């Protein structure tokens, strides 16, 4: 039985599989973000304490979720590329990093705005905020490695940074539980279920799904463009078929 990782190590096969997925994710992105934005900014009620400023949540929270999910994907792809020399895994990680950086910056910017309204300050060295700032620096460092090193060395070094930096993800997630923090505790993913009303939960879920579709759409476009550019430059378009999944020494 063929190994899925071996099959997807072939760029030609990846291009064939991803081609029909691009418009699917594009259409899903438009529908989800369109409906989600309408419900978030016009169809959901204001908060009884925060008033209309609670609508920042519909941009901030999905951006924070996608910042973390993108880094998790980056770390997993880096592990696959580091251990099995999977070229497309390295490519996926590299092309996902700018998207994760954008989501992280958006989460910090909207979080700062929301903090100014609710806490009275633009920034506080709160554990959740600080760990998200560390995530921003991890993305910047990862991208910097790809810029200053040749491709082979960058893939190995960037993968190491990505894997080591993954320890920050549980810190971000559980910081509001582990320490006394200004940031509110989880209101959606909780053992006893979401604590917010459905009129707010549904728009938030649609926006989160829309951000996810946006990420998938742009990532596939970036990967396909990178592979096409590599082919146009005359570089090998096909990864080794036998040694790709051999563990590195």
Q: What are phi and psi of 51, to 5 degrees?
A: 65, -140
220 within some domain: yes
Tell me how many domains the chain contains: 1
Most confident of 84-88, 235-239, 245-249: 84-88
13 within some domain: no
Over residues 26-41, mean pLDDT = 97
Q: Can you give the pLDDT at residue 194?
A: 74
56 within some domain: yes
- Terminal alpha carbon distance of the chain: 25
What CA–CA distances, in Å, run from 49 to 1, 46, 100, 115, 118? 58, 8, 31, 14, 9
Question: Does 99 have pLDDT greater than 80?
Answer: yes
Over residues 186-201, mean pLDDT = 76
How remote is the C-alpha of 36 from its chain's centroid?
19
1 within some domain: no
Over residues 180-201, mean pLDDT = 75
In whole angstroms, what is the distance from residue 100 CA to residue 138 CA? 10
Full DSSP string of 168-215? HHHHHHHHHHHS--SSPPPSSS-TT---S-HHHHHHHHHHHHHHHHHH
The 3-state DSSP class for residue 47 equals strand
Q: For the chain, give the mean pLDDT.
A: 88
Question: Does 27 have pLDDT greater than 70?
Answer: yes
Q: Which residues pair with 236 in a beta bridge?
A: none
166 within some domain: yes
Q: Can you give the pLDDT at residue 184?
A: 74
202 within some domain: yes
123 within some domain: yes
Dihedral of alpha carbons 221, 222, 223, 227, sign = positive
Task: Give the tens place of pLDDT for each residue, 225-237.
Answer: 999 998 888 755 4
Question: Does 42 have pLDDT greater than 70?
Answer: yes
Over residues 119-134, mean pLDDT = 91
Going by pLDDT thresholds of 50, 70 and 90, the confidence category of residue 247 is very low
Dihedral of alpha carbons 33, 39, 41, 44, sign = negative
12 within some domain: no
Question: Percent of the chain at pLDDT above 70?
Answer: 87
Going by pLDDT thresholds of 50, 70 and 90, the confidence category of residue 189 is low
Q: Can you give the pLDDT at residue 61?
A: 95
Q: Which residues span the domain enclosing 107?
A: 21-44+51-186+196-232
């Amino acid at each position: 039985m063929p190994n899925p990782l071996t099959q997807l190590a072939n760029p030609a096969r990846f291009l064939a599989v991803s081609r029909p997925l691009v418009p699917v994710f594009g259409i899903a992105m438009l529908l989800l973000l369109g409906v989600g934005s309408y419900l978030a900014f016009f169809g959901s009620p204001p908060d009884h304490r925060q008033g209309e400023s609670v609508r920042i949540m519909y941009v901030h929270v999905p951006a924070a979720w996608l910042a973390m999910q993108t880094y998790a994907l980056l770390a997993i792809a880096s592990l696959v590329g580091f251990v099995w020399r999977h070229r497309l895994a390295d490519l996926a990680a590299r092309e996902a990093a700018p998207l994760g950086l954008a989501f992280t910056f958006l989460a910090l910017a909207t979080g700062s705005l929301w903090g100014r309204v609710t806490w009275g300050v633009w920034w506080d060295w709160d554990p959740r905020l600080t760990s998200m700032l560390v995530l921003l620096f991890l993305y910047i460092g990862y991208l910097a490695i790809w810029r200053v090193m040749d491709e082979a060395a960058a893939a190995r070094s960037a993968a190491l940074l990505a894997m080591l930096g993954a320890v920050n993800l549980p810190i971000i997630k559980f910081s509001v539980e582990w320490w006394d923090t200004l940031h509110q505790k989880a209101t959606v993913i909780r053992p006893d279920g979401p604590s917010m009303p459905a009129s707010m939960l549904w728009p938030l879920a649609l926006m989160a799904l829309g951000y996810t579709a946006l990420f998938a759409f742009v990532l596939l476009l970036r990967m396909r463009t990178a592979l096409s550019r590599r082919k146009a430059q005359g570089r090998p378009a096909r990864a080794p078929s036998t040694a790709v999944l051999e563990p590195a020494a």
